[in-house]
Amino acid sequence: MSDAQAPHYRVAVRALCDFTAREGDLDHRFTPSPSAREGIEGHALVAGRRADDYETELPLSGRYEGLVVSGRADGYDPARNRLEEIKTHRGDLSRMAANQRALHWAQVKVYGALLCAERGLDDVTLALVYLDIATQRETLLTQAATATELNAFFAAQCRRFLDWAEQERCHRERRDRWLAALHFPHAEFRSGQRELAESVYKAAATGRCLLAQAPTGIGKTMATLFPTLKAMPRQRIDRVAFLTMKTPGRRLALDALAQLELAEPCEEGEFGRPALRVLELVARSKACEYPDKACHGDACPLAAGFYDRLPAARQAAVARGWLDREALREVALEHDICPYYLGQELARWSDVCVGDVNHYFDSSALLHGLAQANGWRLALLVDEAHNLVDRARGMYSAELDQRAFSRLHRSAPAPLVKPMGRLVRQWQGLVREQRESGAAKAESSDYGVLAALPQRLVAALNQAAVAITDYLAEHPGGADAALQERLFEALAFIRLAETFGDHSLCDLSQPGRGQAVLGLRNLVPADFLAPRFAQAHSTVLFSATLSPPRYYRDLLGLPSDCVWQTVTTPFRAEQLEVRIPGGISTRLRDREASLDPIVAELADQYRRQPGPYLAFFSSFAYLERVLARLAERQPDVPTWAQTRGMSEAERDAFLARFRPGGRGIGFAVLGGAFGEGVDLPGDRLIGAFIATLGLPPFDPFNEALKARLETRFGCGDAYAYRIPGLIKVVQAAGRVIRDPQDRGTLVLLDDRFRRPDVRRLLPGWWRVD
Ligand code: SF4
């Protein structure tokens, strides 16, 4: 191994081998792989079977020219002089694709070279230890290798990577020079924008977490992106992840990045190549070119030969630099490879990734995995962060539908009949137990929170999942979609069952015979998210509604030194007339009596000042009743309404009626498609009515949530009902005033808005008449 010459480039053993030793088809048939926990436990199990002097997690590193290669080998047995790479798996090992096996050998050979060099060994036995998670049986593949052979192999891998490494090093230098010179792309900051930008810079500079509540219209996207990018060179930040809740948020971030690119010309001699590599991460369902095919070379033409064509595609993609969804697709199709998996590859080499929050916070999130594997200093920006509690709860929840598994049992191929039958019987047993215990307690037996996980059912589910995995691996061509879907549901459930704790509950709903749904529902995402925040170099969570901060700290698991900032609003009280008419209660028991007074308020306000209004209700049922009453009593008031499951075109048509000079009232549900993220500036919207406090329904689930949050944080009612409700109210009300020139009216339709505990949760700049 030659000695290093500065400057050098660092690469993990795994990343090096992923780059140099992959060839052939992309093949996801051998998945699903064991969970991370199964992997860790599997490694511990193998290590536990070895002698006392067995060394685990061996840190190794070495150099080749300008390259520093490092990583941790799984285990070394000094007595046998055997270096082991442990891989956990499910199903028949002989079905593992040859290129996957070759990759594993490449990894252990590189570790072998590093070990021989470090310890002065002349030779070593290399071993791949495959541990079957289901049977706990080890399959050992070994080969003897001399230090000379391994060193030659290592050098060959490094040589294949060196040009790329050099290109990456130059890119990084050029990127950092460009960022250091980067200027704010507008002549001046908007009111509040500088304040936010300064705090974001501080968070990135000190590696802290910032929870920033900042009003609409101040340019939050630019106020977070610009300072984070400016901090990149000094703080040696490797990557920025701009994470959004919905697709339009991605567009805003990409637009802001495009403005920055335009504002700062690139250095000469770079042929107009952008200095910053930007990647838009898109869901597989949106990026896939062959949605009816499976992701392996026998089924999908874009998976066949994927790794053979990847190097050229990767090179073309990084040369392009700007890779939004369309650009990425273009590059991928020019090289006949899958755009989705090309995007996954490019996440390794992009400076800024713009994508959904699940790309970092989900249990198997790509960006989190890459940051961990490569030791990245990653700066996170999370837009519309008030939604993260609910989104994260969804990420760590799973459901099983009895009907779907019963159907599968009836149509199951022969090898699956037995395990599926066992599972179906466990389902029936659980349903019977619950019905009996519900009846015994004289409670509704349609829904119940289980005292513990139904272990027998989970065990049967595990066996069924293994059987389906084996079957799918043996019949890759004939894999039917329902079978795969059930398998993925089963695995998601099993993984969450492994980490079941007081952050979640297990419930069973039985709307009808044979229609039970078993749920694992996360209540406190903090337990899953805290390590994610801890791993990031810095995090900025921003939104117009992040009060009270303690709610987010507790439920998201933010670090104890997380800074909360509320940016001074540019809006003035006189811009928004806020009224709470007396005598209206929207409590469930008062709904019927509330219809006439609400209709009167809507009509009076509309006649006093005709124009476009939004009226929000807690549910479609309530919305429809008020709408019918208004049509009956005040037929001349124009109305239009949100309906369940609107298509994109229907949503656009709903919004198109909000136009300058337009008139009428658009009815919508709180927390729905029009309750946030909708921008209707000026007289496209002159007022809003909000009926109810947006409280979630008082049902057994929410009552269980409240009890759990009370036990854990002492704030059950506020955390389960009041705060989530008021967040929806404030978001909906935020549609009215979009900039410092806007004026409008907000009518809060419920007496409870006058209560001090509720008023405290409304924006301080509102003056309530
Ligand atoms: S195009 Fe679709 S089916 Fe083909 S590899 Fe990509 S994601 Fe899989």
Q: Is 284's C-beta closer than 6 angstroms to any atom of ligand 1?
A: yes
Q: 466 or 720: which carries more pLDDT confidence?
A: 720
Write phi, then psi, for 242 (nearest 5 degrees): -100, 110
pLDDT confidence tier of residue 3, bands split at 50, 70 and 90: very low
Say yes or no: CB of residue 340 within 6 Å of ligand 1: yes
CA–centroid distance, 365 to ligand 1, in Å, is 19
Backbone Cα Rg of the chain? 29
How much distance in Å is there from the Cα of 314 to the middle of ligand 1? Answer: 17
Residue nearest to atom 7 of ligand 1 (CA): 288
Residue 33 binned pLDDT confidence (cut-offs 50, 70, 90): low
CA of 294, closest atom in ligand 1: 3
Q: Which one is predicted more confidently, 405 or 35? A: 405
Please state, as a whole number, how many other Cβ atoms lie within 10 Å of the Cβ of residue 37: 12
What pLDDT shows up at residue 478? 57
Question: What is the per-residue pLDDT across 36-88, written as a single tens digit (0 to 9) for each?
Answer: 777 888 999 999 999 999 999 999 999 999 899 999 999 999 999 999 999 99
Instruction: Identify whether the C-beta of residue 384 lies closer than 8 Å to the C-beta of residue 543.
Output: yes
Q: What is the pTM of this model?
A: 0.90
Residue 2 has a pLDDT of 44
**Does residue 672 carry a pLDDT above 60?**
yes
| Nearest atom in ligand 1 to 295's CA | 8
Model pLDDT, residue 273: 67
Residue bearing the bigger pLDDT, 30 or 278: 278
Nearest C-alpha neighbor of 488 from the set 559, 416, 557, 399: 399
Nearest CA to ligand 1 atom 2: 288
Predicted confidence at residue 125, as pLDDT, reads 98
Would you call 329 helix, strand, or coil by DSSP? helix
pLDDT value, residue 536:
97
Taking 90 as the threshold, does the pLDDT of residue 416 lie above it?
yes
Q: What is the pLDDT of residue 191?
A: 85
| Distance (Å) from CA 302 to ligand 1 centroid | 6
Residues linked to residue 689 through DSSP beta bridges, in sequence order: 615, 747
Comparing 474 with 351, the larger pLDDT belongs to 351
Is it the case that residue 178 has pLDDT exceeding 70? yes
290 CB less than 6 Å from ligand 1? yes
**pLDDT digits 0-9 by tens, 704-751:** 999 999 999 999 999 999 999 999 999 999 999 888 888 999 999 999
Per-residue pLDDT tens over the stretch 540-552:
999 999 999 999 9
Q: Point out the ligand 1 atom lying closest to the alpha carbon of residue 287.
A: 7
Element spanning 736, H or E: none
Q: Is-contact 675 623, C-beta < 8 A?
A: no
Element holding 594 (H helix, E strand): helix 591-608
Question: What is the pLDDT at residue 738?
Answer: 84
- Give me the pLDDT at residue 740, please: 80
Q: In the numeric block, which tokens belong to residue 151? A: 């060193």
Residue 1 confidence class, pLDDT cut points 50, 70, 90: very low
* Three-state DSSP class for residue 56: strand
Average pLDDT value for residue range 374-379: 94
pLDDT tens track for 270-318: 545 678 999 999 999 999 999 988 888 988 999 999 999 999 999 999 9
Q: What are the b/e assignments for 229-262, b being 16+ CB within 10 Å?
A: bbbbbebebbbbbbbbbeeebbbbbbebbebbbe
638 sits in which H/E element: none
> If 0-12 CB within 10 Å is exposed, 13-18 middle and 19+ buried, where does residue 563 land?
middle
Over residues 612-620, mean pLDDT: 96
Residue with more model confidence, 519 or 91: 519
302 lines ligand 1 (CB under 6 A): yes
The pLDDT mean for the chain works out to 92
What separation in Å is there between the alpha carbon of 304 and the centre of ligand 1?
10
